[in-house]
Structures are given as C-alpha cells and as structure tokens.
Amino acid sequence: MTSDQLKTLVQNSLEDLKAVDLQIISLAGKADFADYMVIASGTSDRHLHAMADKVIEDCKAQNYPPLGREGEDSRDWVLVDLGDIIVHLMRPETRQLYALDKLWSLPPKRDN
C-alpha cells in the first residue's frame, strides 16, 4: 500500500466516525520519519479512542497493521503510528495547546 493509499484509508476511517477539523499535513522536506501527519479532534475521550480503534481496524483489514499506539490511558491525546503516517487524535483544548497543525505546516527552513 502506498503512502497516498494509506492516507486515503485513514482519512475515510476518521470521516466515518465524524472526526472534527481533520488536517492532513505533508511532511515532505520537513521530516524523514513519515510522509504525512494526520491531526483530528474528538469530542470526548471515548470519541478519540473509537477513532483510533477504527483506524487500526481498517488498516489491519488491508494487511497494514500499525507499528504502535500511544495514549491508551489518555483522555486527551491518542497517537497511532502507521510508519508512513502518524495519526494524532486530540481533544480540542489539547490540540490548541500543542498547535501541531501550525508547527508542521510551516515551510521547511532553507540553508543558505
């Protein structure tokens, strides 16, 4: 499965469960650890965990199991590591505090 196909799968999974403010950020030229970062908000801790479960279930169904999941006990932030894509699922207040959307949306710094 290509990164773009995986990105579409993740996007569809999150949209199925009504993810709030879904953002997909290309990491090309910004980071080597992944191709995309997906950030979405959930309305409650149950919503966050349900979205993470859906992403993992859908990826496994396509023979693309996740490398890891962080935040099992968290009420504010769950991370799913799919290798080529890192998925951050956050409560709105946590998302605003860390501002990953803004941080990773900045253009890459050029060396002169």
3-class secondary structure for the chain?
A: CCHHHHHHHHHHHHHHCCCEEEEEEECCCCCCCCCEEEEEECCCHHHHHHHHHHHHHHHHHCCCCCCEEECCCCCCEEEEECCCEEEEEECHHHHHHHCHHHHHHCCCCCCC
Question: How much is the pTM?
Answer: 0.89
Whole-angstrom distance, CA of residue 97 vs CA of residue 57: 29
Residue 57 included in any domain: yes
Average pLDDT over residues 82-107: 88
Residue 108 included in any domain: no
Residue 51 included in any domain: yes
Give the closest residue to 57 by CA, choosing from 106, 14, 104, 102: 14
Residue 72 included in any domain: yes
Residue 112 included in any domain: no
Number of structural domains, the chain? 1
Residue 32 included in any domain: yes
Residue 109 included in any domain: no
pLDDT tens-digit series, residues 7-59: 999 999 999 999 999 999 998 888 889 999 999 999 999 999 999 999 999 99
Q: What is the CATH number of the domain that holds 70?
A: 3.30.460.10
Residue 111 included in any domain: no
Domain boundaries, position 89: 3-101
